[in-house]
Structure 1
Amino acid sequence: MMLTIDPLRWGGALALSGAWLAMCLNIWRVRLAQARTAHAHADWLVVHASQTGSAEFLAERTAATLALGGLNARAACMSTLDAATLQASPRILFICSTYGEGDAPDTGARFAGETMGALPDLSHLHYAVLALGDATYASYCGFGRALDAWLGARGATPLFERIDVDRGAPTALAEWQHHVGRLAGTSDAPDWEAPAYGEWRIVRRELMNPGSLGAPLYRLALVPSSGILPVWEAGDLAQVSPPVDPEHPREYSIASLPEEGSLGLMVRLQRRADGSPGVASGWLCSDAQEGDTIRLRVRAHARFRLGGNARRPLIAIGNGSGLAGLRALLKARIDAGERRNWLLFGERNAEHDFLCRDELQTWQDGSKLERLDLAFSRDGGEARYVQHLLLAQGEVLRRWVAEGAAIYVCGSLQGMAGGVHEALQTLLGADVVERLMEDGRYRRDVY
């Protein structure tokens, strides 16, 4: 039997392979450049490991305060901190979030897995740790505490005791700022306070999944009582301080753009073990009546904004209320004329849980959403989730990534985000996934 070779098919395969190799080489060059940047001399290094931007914000303020006192200081992402930089730095202030159940955030995953797995002598290092967390989790400030213990075990000397921060508690942040001010020899540092809360009211509330087997999910539109909308970008968050528990704000992905005239949220009604509604979701989804107001502020989420990915093809992956953040990203790109958009979305049942069905189908019909892949796990047969969509479209995924695509994931941490991460590692390789993350082309907003 004679073997025939189709030149067009082989040419396409070679072109794709070449693009894939070029992409890998480019990512490697970016990673090398980041490592070189991390070696730039600074007497004081302020290292942040951030998931939603809080640690990065505080690191920048910390470095600015040290610089105000005349010290040579700079902020750096933990993804650029390697063993060599650790050995060469005399003083490092660490500001670290905890992700999931005690894990390092995405930007600290490599450091936690590789550098903290080694046994370097750090007796030359003076350090301090600000650990950000949520006391409702069993592993409260888990990564910050683990980092502090590891540094101490390796011989590093603490400048002052670790400070744990529960959901941005002002007293703990003020204590950190006090210590930093003393290190800088200045007491006139600018205020670090986040923007003040404003009074907002709900102008529209719609049940998105009537008849669903899952908990009710509502789409809400809110406006400030002042009538003046603040400025935000796709990817940013809304912090809501519910009336019955104002000291512990809840964060939600913003589902709209300012040009749409209101701040959009997608909120699932949560219930406690005793069946009572969640404090924030209960008020937003059912308790609030016409004229009632709630305290809300917008918080920039730099790591989930489009930023340098605005002109790249976008692969948006999510489930449930995670569609809120993805919807804003897609809307921003569509409004800007970008049409290389691919959404992979999962929910329970197509009849009741196909969120934003009309809008998504309109975008697809108008060639504004190039691909729309859906997984509904309760529609009979074997359960099918978002990660299964990825595995089934492996060749397409590799092609998009080779063409420069960025990957944004929004939704549940348990199940979806982990499954998607494993699928990406299977299809692209763990090293490529790590480099995409370090390059800012793989970003996650998961909870």
Structure 2
Amino acid sequence: MTLLSDDALRALAAGGTVLSYVALCAGTWRVHRAREARVARAAAALAPAAAGVRPVLVAHASQTGNAEQIAWQTAQALHTAGVPARIASLSQLQADELAATERALFIVSTYGEGDPPDAAAPFVRRVMAGEARPALDNLHCAVLALGDREYQHYCGFGRTLDAWLSRQGAQAMFERIDVDGGDAAALQQWQHQVARVAGTSDLPDWQLAEPFEPWRLARRHLLNPGSAGGPCFHLELEAPAGAARRPDWQAGDLVQVLPPGDGERPREYSIASLPADGRVHLLVRQERHADGTPGLASGWLTEQAAVGDAIALRLRAHGNFRLGDNAVRPLILIGNGTGLAGLRAHLKARAAAGHGANWLVFGERHAAHDAYYRDEITAWQAGGVLERTDLVFSRDQPGKRYVQDRLREQAEVLRDWVARGAAVYVCGSLVGMAAGVEAALVDVLGRDAVDRLIETGRLRRDVY
């Protein structure tokens, strides 16, 4: 177990910070009440099963929803076995609350190169890296760390949290379990340990994901001929014929594609369409390795698979990037490259709902080649769906300029939109764009305000 220094924890906290808080708009009240009702119904299902027994805390830190899903399944399994459970996002936990807890299970993902998920960043800053850290001598706990071995700091945040809990005096009920992607064996090991905590051996297996199905590649169109960047394609996929139910998803959701010969490691892509479009739309850039060979998934989707071929695909909800409570707010949609896919779905949803308070800030290389969905954007501008549009093409002037530069140039406009109650959605490159946008938002809006926006769900990111 690697123990991080206090300076390292503070650096981790700084790396996860982003955006500013302003008053809620009045129209959100009904949406907020509906969400509270849903949460109350879910919590009722986990009500204590025996009087006088303190519940097991099941805490999650999720970026795309996997950790939260497993946390609910964990809590429900405990409850089914007669063990009361209380579920909470890591962002909701206070230091004194954690110090008073006797048993806890933590299910946490890692974002980027070892960072906490966005919603967990305030907990890192406030509790893990704060001045007054809790003594956890009475806490017995365990950590499930979700990650991806393709990243250098595999399960980095889960390892950091596990080390910090140990340093604060917590006792491990069992060793940390690391999950590479959707590793079924590791998840089964977690289920086995949860059953031991519950004092039973007959918990039912969890259905952690829908099975892959053969969707048909119905259309493929190159969007950027002559571009200095990699070729970028608009793809359309049709659901399997005779499906038992109509496929359903929301703006912000993802698909997982399993390319041939890749075992059980799916690739994720943002959905660029709505169910009303009749097909799943994707925006995929063809990646090339150093030796010139195409990326396994992107090469399959953009070149090797023929139109009409079956693509192994499943839909995946991405609750953190859905509109949710932000559905009636003004939206600031920021992205670059293929990140326009997730923003396009949100703009389609806003157009369908008649909400026109939308500001798009999008960046690519050259306007002549890389202005994806130009006609749609022009139509949204003319129809009032886009109140403001800033398209930033980095190589169309002597000095390179990016979306983060435009945000700084429009600092007063940005502050005004946030004051109107706007939520900020960021989609695209983790390295470069996302970090640059984060720094710009903090520069313009202030660090403390940024943390409050994260905590209230008014900053959402889908970056990769």
Q: TM-score, normalised by structure 1?
A: 0.90
Matches within 5 A, 1:14-413: 23=23, 43-118=55-130, 119-186=133-200, 187-189=202-204, 191-226=206-241, 228=243, 229-413=246-430
Q: Which amino acid aligns with 1:221?
A: E
Q: Which secondary structure state, in structure 2, belongs to the residue aligned with residue 23 of structure 1?
A: coil
Alpha-carbon distance, 1:292 to partner: 2.1
Tell me the percent identity: 57
Indicate how the Cα distance of structure 1 residues 227 and 319 shifts in structure 2: closer, same or farther if over 3 A, else same.
farther
Instruction: Say if 1:341 and 1:368, in contact at 8 Å, map to a contact too.
Output: yes
C-alpha distance in 2 between matches for 1:137 and 1:94:
21
Q: Which ranges of structure 1 fall in alignment gaps of 5 or more residues?
A: 1-19
Instruction: Say if 1:68 and 1:184, in contact at 8 Å, map to a contact too.
Output: no
Residues 331-381 of structure 1: CA deviation (Å, up to 9, x unaligned) = 011101111111000000110011110100111011111111011001122
C-alpha distance in 2 between matches for 1:339 and 1:419:
27
C-alpha distance in 2 between matches for 1:166 and 1:70:
30
Q: Which amino acid aligns with 1:70?
A: G
C-alpha distance in 2 between matches for 1:306 and 1:359:
21
C-alpha distance in 2 between matches for 1:410 and 1:285:
21
C-alpha distance in 1 between matches for 2:456 and 2:236:
34
Q: Which secondary structure state, in structure 1, belongs to the residue aligned with residue 441 of structure 2?
A: helix
Corresponding residue pairs, total: 419
Q: Which ranges of structure 2 fall in alignment gaps of 5 or more residues?
A: 1-19, 27-31, 41-46, 49-53
C-alpha distance in 1 between matches for 2:414 and 2:447:
15
C-alpha distance in 1 between matches for 2:448 and 2:346:
26
Matches within 5 A, 1:415-430: 415-430=432-447
Alpha-carbon distance, 1:435 to partner: 0.7
Alpha-carbon distance, 1:25 to partner: 12
Q: Which amino acid aligns with 1:59?
A: A
Q: Which amino acid aligns with 2:58?
A: V
Indicate how the Cα distance of structure 1 residues 290 and 419 shifts in structure 2: closer, same or farther if over 3 A, else same.
closer
Q: TM-score, normalised by structure 2?
A: 0.87
List, as ranges, runs of 4+ consecutive aligned residues in structure 1 with deviation greater than 4 Å: none
Higher RCO (C-alpha under 8 Å, 6+ residues apart): 2
Residue 14 of structure 1: aligned partner: none
Instruction: Say if 1:68 and 1:189, in contact at 8 Å, map to a contact too.
Output: no
C-alpha distance in 2 between matches for 1:220 and 1:293:
13
C-alpha distance in 2 between matches for 1:225 and 1:53:
25
Question: 2:453 matched to 1:441?
Answer: no
Instruction: Say if 2:56 and 2:104, in contact at 8 Å, map to a contact too.
Output: yes
Q: Which secondary structure state, in structure 2, belongs to the residue aligned with residue 318 of structure 1?
A: strand
Q: Which secondary structure state, in structure 2, belongs to the residue aligned with residue 246 of structure 1?
A: coil
C-alpha distance in 1 between matches for 2:203 and 2:183:
21
Alpha-carbon distance, 1:21 to partner: 9.5
C-alpha distance in 1 between matches for 2:372 and 2:418:
27
Task: Report the RMSD for the aligned CA atoms in angstroms.
Answer: 2.2
